[in-house]
Structure 1
Amino acid sequence: MKTQLIKIFFASFLMGLLTVSCNNDDDVMLPDDMGMEDDGMMMEDDGMMGVDFSGTFAQVDYMGRPGINTTLSFDMEGQPSVKDAHNVTIPSEMVATFQPGFQARLEQYHDVYALKLGLDPMAVDYENNILGLTAEQLTTVLAADALDVAPDLPTTYFNPGTDFDNDGIILVPDGDEVALTGRTPSDDIIDVSLILFFGGAQGDRFSGQDLDDDGTADLPRLTSDGVGLTADISTDFPYLGDPE
């Protein structure tokens, strides 16, 4: 029963990361009389089709880090939906508005898992992750939902680099890792996010370990969704492979 409850809770958590909303919240309302075709395109004088950007637009969503404002959503006074509030907040105001709530939710996840495992929540608290970030530092980075760009570093959500200090552990920062400088089509955003949330200093804190060697996992597997990239990624923009 204990294992089943953990599975149900973790399934709900993953749904927050994986779900992409397709409801009316993602619609952009445009004035009716804009001379636009049904596909939102307009015919130019030279016969070429062009996009008409006139009219009034509303900001409805960010596409920086998928699922963060859903997974770390919390009850916010005066806001029926933290996700919607986050989506219409400018990045410069996001940290002050949402970071404390994001951190509280992240720490609450650890408390819930501790209780389900019959452990003291203080013993299963958040542990600084593979980037050395505390819970406050991590949620500060994630609260500002805009991908950073590092002009002099590779673009990647996370690249562990090599075992630079020869300690046998590649995930622990060795000085040549690169993280959160953007994202590529092949980056496993979900797994990286889960590792940053639950992996601890070595990235494998909750990885379904069998602590008593009885053949049954004693800890939940929280560091991966178990889904890998199967599509072929093109080397040319927009880098999309053939549909599967």
Structure 2
Amino acid sequence: MIFNKIKQLFLTMVVVVAIAACNNDDNEPMMDDDMMGMEDDGMMDDDMTGMDPDFSGTFAQVDFMGRPGINTTLSAGGDIKDAHNVAIPSEMVATFQADFEARLEQYHDVYAMKLGADPADVNYEANILGLDAATLTTVLAADVLEVAPDVPTTYFNPGEDNDGDDNPLTLDGDEVALTGRTLQDDIIDVSLILFFGGMEGNRFDGNNGTPQLTSDGVGLTADILTTFPYVGDPE
């Protein structure tokens, strides 16, 4: 008995579906190939009204950030910051390097006066990567992260100068520096060390009567994962 009832129910559903399929409203004609945007050969018609994406309008770049904090720190004013944010990377060095270098030297003048010293005696000192002010600001003015597929990705790992060329940016042997960034890299502290740390990285580190300029005092608090999305829940 149960089987017969199920069978009857199934047959009833089939009949209902068949009736609905045959009920073609004259006010809603079937769509032919032309209305579907199809040609006779089954290919999509080039003239598909309303189907193509609309890219009309005016688009403007408003930000550009390969290395966080560099533009904010080394640009002398809002106009320079805005210009840097919309600049073409290949033109950044020629346009902004001189301004960035001057700003870096101005910071040292300010801290010299804070220490009660002659600004002429407290100038930028070649940093732990061996870069003088002109070279460092040349690297940083181009706000892009280099791709180094054959060496570890790191924002800061000077390593050893094994080939004798005194160029820590050369990606030979153990020389690895500024080859990108990882989630573990403390970008702000690295930048401050490169700006104010001098050849040993501790020139203005808060010791021996110096101001603390090599760290913002904020450590890594995120939980770094080995799988996507790689950063854990905020604490």
**TM-score, with normalisation over the residues of structure 1?**
0.66
RMSD: 2.0
Residue 195 in 1 paired to residue 181 in 2? no
- Name the % identity: 75
Q: Which residue of 1 aligns with 2:5?
A: none
Q: Which residue of 1 aligns with 2:203?
A: 205
**Which structure 1 residue ranges, 5 or more long, are not aligned?**
1-51, 165-174, 211-217
Residue identity in the other structure for 2:68 = P
Check whether the contact 2:193–2:202 (CA below 8 A) recurs between aligned residues.
Answer: yes
Give matches, 1:161-176, under 5 Å. Answer: 161=159, 176=174
Residue identity in the other structure for 1:196 = L
Residue identity in the other structure for 1:105 = R
Q: Which residue of 2 aligns with 1:94?
A: 92
Q: Which residue of 1 aligns with 2:183?
A: 185
Residue identity in the other structure for 1:236 = T
**Which structure 2 residue ranges, 5 or more long, are not aligned?**
1-52, 163-172
Give matches, 1:23-42, under 5 Å. Answer: none
Q: Which residue of 2 aligns with 1:25?
A: none
- Give the CA deviation at 1:54: 3.7
Secondary structure at 1:196 match in 2:
helix
- Give the CA deviation at 1:55: 4.4
Distance of aligned partners of 1:114 and 1:53 in 2 relative to their CA distance in 1, 3 Å threshold: farther
- Among residues 205, 216, 226, which one is paired with 1:235 in the alignment? 226
Give matches, 1:1-244, under 5 Å. Answer: 54-56=55-57, 57-75=59-77, 81-161=79-159, 176-210=174-208, 218-244=209-235
Secondary structure at 1:155 match in 2:
coil
Residue identity in the other structure for 1:81 = D
**TM-score, with normalisation over the residues of structure 2?**
0.68
Cα distance in structure 2, aligned partners of 1:89 and 1:108? 24
Cα distance in structure 2, aligned partners of 1:162 and 1:138? 19
